[in-house]
């Protein structure tokens, strides 16, 4: 076992992170809550090119922590899950959840996932908050590529390097003070944080990530022995070295861009001539919301299915709502509340009523929805819809969106 893995094992045995769910039924199912990587609710994000199928998928949760694999397995009994983690304490909690909820479709393995010999490749691999703690994150990506089926997808979450700037200085101070992963250092950190000015970058950061007020959150945020923070360019390079590309972003946190240039067509055109990597670098900086970069990746051979590297054929799209966004409909117009920010989208140029409730369900494609539109109405409508898709205000698929609630936990 490497020194890196030994330290991770020690930390995640002593400070399980994140704080685990105690009851999946009460905390998830009854509240109709689900994980962002849920294969049922996010089918159209994982495989927009494929019609929804009720077939059994082989799914790996690499670095599954204390509850993630159990929650996913309970909410998706049709699929087969394997959860791997180096922390026996985290897995012990998942075992409790397995017994409590009589989960039958989850195998747990305690090991470094890179050491496991896999017999059957995975259709879907999930690894959130894990590889940025490794000495060699590329070795994890290489393992994912080798163990994914040809059309398989990887849901990856790593830390970005912009928002975390706000805590880097403090981390260095705590290192200099030789703070360790123990209760007296945690107490000292809490006392120091309490005294920081309201506009200190770490306080701004804590408004987004409330768990820095809890012991495990403090350890994970300020006392972690190993963390890599990514610029999107470096991440794309690392993926490319391991035969992987980004298929889609899970949300617009780092990738929505054109919204910043909506009133300046000349700048927008200039930016659209930049490489994809340069555009994403700019959007990561402007959005400043990259503590968590959530991406869906696939093998390079599937590049034709990537939203990042292809223009979408608007006619054939089924647009739909993002589950995390609140849409307020007012006649033709739409107000969108995302992360407490509100934006208004006006469709006054249309001389007819539009049924947003129907559109957001994703049951008809845009060609069908605009069949009665005049040429100019259709052009303006498509322009606005493209803008909303580019900026992750509307989601899409190339197939009718399934009524996912029908299959939740069934
Ligand atoms: C920050 S936690 C995230 C847990 C979970 N993925 C989630 O999002 O809730 C990171 C977890 O990855 C595990 N881990 C880190 N490196 C690992 C490795 N190489 N193999 C297996 N587990 C690993 C740690 O033990 C820890 O439980």
Read off the pLDDT of residues 260-285 as tens digits, 9 standing for 90 and up: 998 899 999 999 999 999 999 999 99
| H/E run at residue 80 | strand 80-85
Print burial letters for 102-120: b (CB count within 10 Å at least 16), e (below 16): ebebbebeeebbbeeeeee
334 vs 283: which has the higher pLDDT: 283
Q: For ligand 1, is residue 252 a contact (CB within 6 Å)? A: no
- Look at residue 400 and tell me whether its pLDDT is greater than 90: yes
For residue 204, give the nearest of 284, 288, 260, 280 by alpha carbon: 288
**What residue ranges define each of the domains in the chain, with the CATH number in brackets?**
3-161+227-305 (3.40.50.150), 165-222 (no CATH), 314-405 (3.90.930.60)
Tell me the average pLDDT across 182-204: 93
Cβ atoms of 320 and 388 closer than 8 Å: no
Q: For ligand 1, is residue 17 a contact (CB within 6 Å)? A: yes
Name the closest-CA residue to atom 27, ligand 1. Answer: 65
Residue 141: CB atoms within 10 Å: 24
DSSP-based three-state secondary structure for 292: coil
Q: Rg of the Cα trace of the chain?
A: 22
Q: For ligand 1, is residue 8 a contact (CB within 6 Å)? A: yes
Cβ atoms of 299 and 244 closer than 8 Å: yes
- Look at residue 206 and tell me whether its pLDDT is greater than 90: no
Length of the chain: 410
CA torsion sign, 40 to 45 to 46 to 48? Answer: positive
Read off the pLDDT of residues 52-64 as tens digits, 9 standing for 90 and up: 999 999 999 999 9
- Look at residue 355 and tell me whether its pLDDT is greater than 80: yes
Residue 113 DSSP symbol: G
Q: For ligand 1, is residue 18 a contact (CB within 6 Å)? A: yes
- Look at residue 340 and tell me whether its pLDDT is greater than 80: no
DSSP per residue, 83-112: EEES-HHHHHHHHHHHHHHT--SEEEEES-
For a pLDDT cut of 70, what percent of the chain falls above it?
100
Centre of ligand 1 from the C-alpha of residue 409, in Å: 24
Centre of ligand 1 from the C-alpha of residue 249, in Å: 21
If one residue of 20, 63, 127, 131 were mutated to test the ligand 1 pocket, choosing by the most ligand atoms within 8 A of its CB, it would be 63
Cβ atoms of 376 and 352 closer than 8 Å: no
Centre of ligand 1 from the C-alpha of residue 321, in Å: 31
Tell me the average pLDDT across 102-113: 98
- Among 54-68, 195-209, 294-308, 329-343, the minimum mean pLDDT is found in 329-343
| H/E run at residue 396 | strand 395-397
Q: For ligand 1, is residue 90 a contact (CB within 6 Å)? A: yes
- Look at residue 244 and tell me whether its pLDDT is greater than 90: yes
- Look at residue 204 and tell me whether its pLDDT is greater than 80: yes
Helices (H), 110-264: 137-147, 165-176, 183-194, 201-208, 215-222, 232-241
Centre of ligand 1 from the C-alpha of residue 208, in Å: 21
Residues 6+ apart with CB under 8 A from 30: none
How far is CA 133 from each of CA 68, 198, 224, 234, rounded to the nearest angstrom?
18, 30, 8, 16
- Look at residue 209 and tell me whether its pLDDT is greater than 80: no
Residue 230 DSSP symbol: B
Centre of ligand 1 from the C-alpha of residue 153, in Å: 19
CA dist 123 and 125 (Å) reads 7
Q: Can you tell me which residue has the tokens 């959007």?
A: 283
CA dist 259 and 174 (Å) reads 38
| H/E run at residue 59 | strand 58-62
Which pLDDT score, from 0 to 100, does residue 45 have?
96
Burial of 368 (0-12, 13-18, 19+ CB in 10 A): exposed
CA dist 244 and 242 (Å) reads 6
CA dist 337 and 129 (Å) reads 27
Centre of ligand 1 from the C-alpha of residue 109, in Å: 12
Q: pTM for the full model?
A: 0.95
For residue 393, give the nearest of 306, 324, 347, 313 by alpha carbon: 324
For residue 19, give the nearest of 57, 51, 65 by alpha carbon: 65
Q: For ligand 1, is residue 128 a contact (CB within 6 Å)? A: yes
- Look at residue 212 and tell me whether its pLDDT is greater than 80: no
Half-sphere exposure of 254 (CA within 13 A, CB side): 28
Read off the pLDDT of residues 283-294 as tens digits, 9 standing for 90 and up: 999 999 999 999
Q: For ligand 1, is residue 65 a contact (CB within 6 Å)? A: yes
């Amino acid at each position: 076992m490497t020194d890196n893995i030994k330290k991770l094992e020690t930390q995640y045995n002593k400070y399980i992170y994140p704080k685990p769910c105690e009851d999946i039924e009460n905390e998830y199912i009854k509240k109709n809550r689900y994980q962002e990587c849920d294969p049922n609710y996010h089918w159209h994000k994982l495989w927009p090119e494929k019609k929804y199928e009720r077939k059994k998928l082989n799914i790996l949760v690499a670095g599954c922590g204390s509850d993630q694999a159990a929650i996913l397995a309970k909410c998706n009994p049709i699929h087969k899950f394997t959860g791997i983690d180096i922390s026996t304490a985290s897995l012990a909690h998942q075992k409790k959840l397995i017994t409590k909820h009589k989960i039958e479709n989850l195998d747990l393995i305690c090991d470094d996932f890179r050491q496991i010999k896999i017999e059957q490749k995975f259709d879907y691999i999930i690894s959130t908050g894990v590889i940025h703690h490794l000495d060699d994150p590329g070795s994890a990506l290489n393992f994912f590529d080798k163990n994914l089926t040809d059309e398989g997808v990887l849901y990856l979450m790593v830390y970005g390097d912009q928002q975390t700037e706000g805590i880097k200085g403090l981390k260095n101070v705590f290192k200099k003070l030789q703070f360790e992963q123990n209760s007296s250092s945690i107490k000292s950190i809490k006392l120091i944080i309490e005294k920081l000015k309201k506009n200190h970058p770490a306080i701004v950061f804590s408004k987004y990530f409330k768990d820095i007020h809890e012991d495990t959150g403090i350890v994970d945020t300020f006392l972690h022995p190993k963390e890599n923070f990514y610029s999107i360019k470096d991440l794309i390079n690392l993926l490319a070295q391991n035969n992987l590309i980004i298929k889609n972003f899970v949300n617009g946190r780092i990738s929505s861009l054109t919204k910043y240039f909506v009133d300046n067509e000349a700048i927008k055109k200039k930016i659209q001539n930049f490489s994809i990597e340069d555009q994403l670098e700019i959007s990561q900086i402007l959005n400043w919301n990259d503590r968590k970069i959530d991406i869906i990746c696939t093998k390079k051979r599937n590049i034709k299915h990537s939203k990042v590297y292809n223009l979408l054929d608007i006619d054939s799209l089924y647009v739909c709502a993002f589950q995390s966004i609140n849409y307020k409909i007012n006649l033709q117009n739409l107000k969108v509340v995302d992360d407490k920010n509100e934006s208004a989208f006006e469709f006054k140029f249309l001389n007819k009523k539009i049924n947003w409730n129907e559109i957001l369900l994703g049951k008809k494609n845009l060609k069908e929805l605009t069949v009665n539109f005049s040429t100019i109405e259709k052009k303006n409508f498509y322009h606005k819809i493209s803008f909303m898709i580019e900026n992750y205000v509307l989601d899409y698929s190339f197939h009718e969106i399934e009524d996912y609630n029908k299959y939740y936990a069934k």
